[in-house]
Amino acid sequence: MTITDTESTTPARQATAKTVLMCRPDFFTVSYSINPWMNPNDPTDTSLAVKQWQTLYDTYIELGFEVELIDPIDGLPDMVYAANGGFVIDGKAYGALFTYDERKAEGPAYMDWFGANGFTVADPVNVNEGEGDFLLVGDNILAGMGFRTSVESHRELAEISGRNVVSLNLINPSFYHVDTAIAKLDDTNIAYLESAFDEPSLEKLRALYPDAILATEEDAAVLGLNSYSDGYNIVIAARAKDFERQLKERGYNPIGVDLSELLLGGGGVKCCTLELRR
């Protein structure tokens, strides 16, 4: 007879301090609608947006992150969603080429910043919205398509980065960027919202991450998956209660922040965060 230890043990999680780029929402408002969250008739409070954003910034500093800042530009209210500014890996910055005219000017603004801060800039040929649709998990880049980022840009990024790009088809307009439907937990695991993807994409996700956390619709509806992890600490939407519980159960340390004002533009924690990998 063999005795096997069937008791599940929580693995020790490892935090790695990150370097990120953020943009203070000094000019944040909702003056146009390019996703279902945005209603230009609803009032926004820019000073509250700045206050909430500051809490996220302070949280990162407390976690020992290095936070770099790009100057916000008047007339570009979505610039606070820095994740869309590009995708940075091995000191190379693949620039963003936005889908909608309202955000197009952000592409060159972010590329200028990358160039001025020591990154080699790859000017994009194909439409893509940066880290909003490209999540690096280990050596795979999980890449969204269907609403914003083009499949052609997936190939472009594969060439530039030398990484394996996994194309995923988003099907729910409320989860229009892959970072609204997938949370990276660490280099080997993710959490995701099943209903946001088509069946072939789900097959890929199930094969790659059999142990993934499956998020509830309720948590996804407050952009709970739009979170940022250092491998142990995971900054999430404070209202994503089930996600918080599941993360704790798995040995992570969820930290809730309230970005309700930025949710009016259709973005959360991850949208405000662009990882810089030198």
Binding site for ligand ARG (CB under 6 A): 34-35, 38, 78, 81, 83-84, 103, 132, 177, 179-180, 265-267, 271
How far apart (Å, rounded) are the C-alpha atoms in residues 139 and 165? Answer: 9
Structure tokens that stand for 237 in this block: 């939407």
Q: What share of the chain is helix, strand, coil (3-state, %, to 5)?
A: 35, 20, 45
How far apart (Å, rounded) are the C-alpha atoms in residues 127 and 96? Answer: 7
Cβ burial, residue 207 (10 Å; 0-12/13-18/19+): exposed
How far apart (Å, rounded) are the C-alpha atoms in residues 178 and 26? Answer: 26
Residue with tokens 């869309």: 84
Shortest distance, CB of residue 196 to ligand ARG, whole angstroms?
Answer: 12
Q: How far is CA 68 from CA 16, 22, 116, 152, 248, in A?
A: 17, 6, 13, 30, 29
Residue with tokens 């043990």: 9
Active-site residue, selected from the candidate residues 23, 154, 271, 272: 271
Question: Quick one: 156 or 179, whose CB is closer to ligand ARG?
Answer: 179
272 is a catalytic site residue = no
Question: Quick one: 106 or 186, whose CB is closer to ligand ARG?
Answer: 106
Shortest distance, CB of residue 210 to ligand ARG, whole angstroms?
Answer: 26
Shortest distance, CB of residue 165 to ligand ARG, whole angstroms?
Answer: 17
Shortest distance, CB of residue 112 to ligand ARG, whole angstroms?
Answer: 20
Shortest distance, CB of residue 234 to ligand ARG, whole angstroms?
Answer: 17
Question: Quick one: 34 or 247, whose CB is closer to ligand ARG?
Answer: 34
Question: Quick one: 154 or 177, whose CB is closer to ligand ARG?
Answer: 177
Question: Quick one: 148 or 250, whose CB is closer to ligand ARG?
Answer: 148
Active-site residue, selected from the candidate residues 23, 154, 177, 272: 177
154 is a catalytic site residue = no
Q: State CA 195 to chain mean position distance.
A: 18
Residue nearest to ligand ARG (CB): 132
Structure tokens that stand for 26 in this block: 């000094």
Q: DSSP E strands: which ranges in the chain?
A: 19-22, 66-69, 86-89, 92-95, 120-122, 134-137, 140-145, 164-169, 182-184, 190-192, 213-214, 228-229, 233-237, 253-257, 274-275
Shortest distance, CB of residue 195 to ligand ARG, whole angstroms?
Answer: 17
Question: Quick one: 177 or 184, whose CB is closer to ligand ARG?
Answer: 177
Q: Measuring CA to CA, which residue among 256, 231, 232, 229 is closest to residue 242?
A: 256
Which active-site residues does the annotation give?
Answer: 177, 271
